[in-house]
């Protein structure tokens, strides 16, 4: 086990992922990212879910990088990236972050594989691409995993309703691993292994991230952009 912040102890596997990432600044905040694969391979952008991080993809990383040049990051407020509490987290902001990320790395076209919260961010990127907005990348294909694509059919669980309600900030501050595990077990048809849940919780705790859990309240309400 390794201590990598003032309050967080993480597993060796998470420490290895953390050490292998690079960083850049977006609007003054530090963002952690990974890029790996053959230089001439097709580009693949991975967009993680809520409340997790690019760690979502670590089990698929080796296989994907055999066929693609893979790009992923921890969005602002997630994982090993900064988690400012004075920011209004929106889908547009996360899409701006990913657009800037790909521009800096000179990626003009890519396939997208997204999950959960990342599906909504990917939809915003698709809308920008279809409108030929400045700096929008050419999206070659998209695969959405387990996301609330249609707001009218989305049925949030009780925890999500509480987090995105007026008492969300208090609820997130009072959250602990036991309640986190109970809610994840209720959401998953096959419960995640204890080690995996512990690692997800460690990512939330990193950089005092618990209060930020209630921040991405615009998870589904920015579909009006379309």
Question: Mind listing the pLDDT tens digit for each residue in 74-116?
Answer: 999 999 999 998 998 999 999 999 999 999 999 999 999 999 9
Whether 33 shows a pLDDT value over 70: the answer reads yes
For residues 6 and 104, which has the higher predicted lDDT (pLDDT)?
104
On whether residue 3 sits in a domain, the answer given is no
H or E stretch including 119?
A: helix 117-130
pLDDT tens for each residue of 8-22: 557 888 999 999 999
103 Ramachandran zone, left/alpha/beta (phi>0; psi -120 to 50): alpha
Give the pLDDT confidence score for residue 150 in this predicted structure: 65
Give the pLDDT confidence score for residue 223 in this predicted structure: 40
196's tokens = 């995996």
Q: What is the pTM of this model?
A: 0.85
Whether 4 shows a pLDDT value over 70: the answer reads no
Residue 84 near residue 93, CB atoms below 8 Å: no
Structural domain count, the chain: 1
On whether residue 210 sits in a domain, the answer given is yes
Give the structural domain span for 209: 8-225
Q: Is 30 exposed, middle or buried (0-12, 13-18, 19+ CB in 10 A)?
A: middle
Return the DSSP state at 114.
Answer: E
- DSSP code string of 161-190: HHHTSTTHHHHHHH--HHHHHHHHHHH-SS
On whether residue 1 sits in a domain, the answer given is no
101: domain CATH number is: 3.40.50.1820
Which residues are 143's β-sheet partners? 113
Average pLDDT of the chain is 84
On whether residue 164 sits in a domain, the answer given is yes
On whether residue 2 sits in a domain, the answer given is no
Which residues are 72's β-sheet partners? 34, 46
pLDDT tens for each residue of 39-64: 999 999 999 998 899 999 999 999 99
């Amino acid at each position: 086990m390794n201590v990598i912040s003032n309050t967080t102890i993480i597993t060796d596997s998470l420490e290895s992922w953390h050490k292998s990432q690079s960083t850049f600044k977006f609007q003054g905040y530090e963002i952690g990212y990974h890029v790996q694969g053959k230089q001439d391979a097709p580009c693949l952008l991975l967009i993680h879910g809520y409340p997790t991080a690019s760690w979502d993809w670590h089990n698929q990383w080796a296989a994907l990088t055999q066929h693609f040049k893979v790009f992923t990051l921890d969005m602002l407020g997630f994982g090993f990236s900064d988690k400012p509490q004075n920011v209004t987290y929106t889908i547009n902001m996360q899409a701006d972050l990913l657009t800037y990320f790909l521009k800096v790395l000179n990626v003009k076209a890519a396939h997208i594989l997204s999950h959960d919260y990342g599906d909504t961010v990917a939809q915003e990127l698709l809308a920008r691409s279809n409108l030929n907005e400045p700096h929008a990348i050419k999206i070659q294909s998209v695969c959405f995993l387990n996301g609330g694509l249609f707001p009218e059919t989305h049925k949030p669980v009780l925890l999500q309703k509480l987090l995105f309600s007026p008492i969300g900030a208090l609820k997130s501050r009072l959250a602990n691993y036991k309640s986190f595990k109970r809610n994840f077990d209720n959401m998953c048809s096959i419960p995640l292994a204890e080690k995996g849940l512990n690692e997800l919780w460690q990512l939330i705790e990193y950089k005092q991230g618990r209060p930020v859990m209630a921040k991405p309240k615009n998870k589904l309400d920015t579909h009006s952009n379309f």
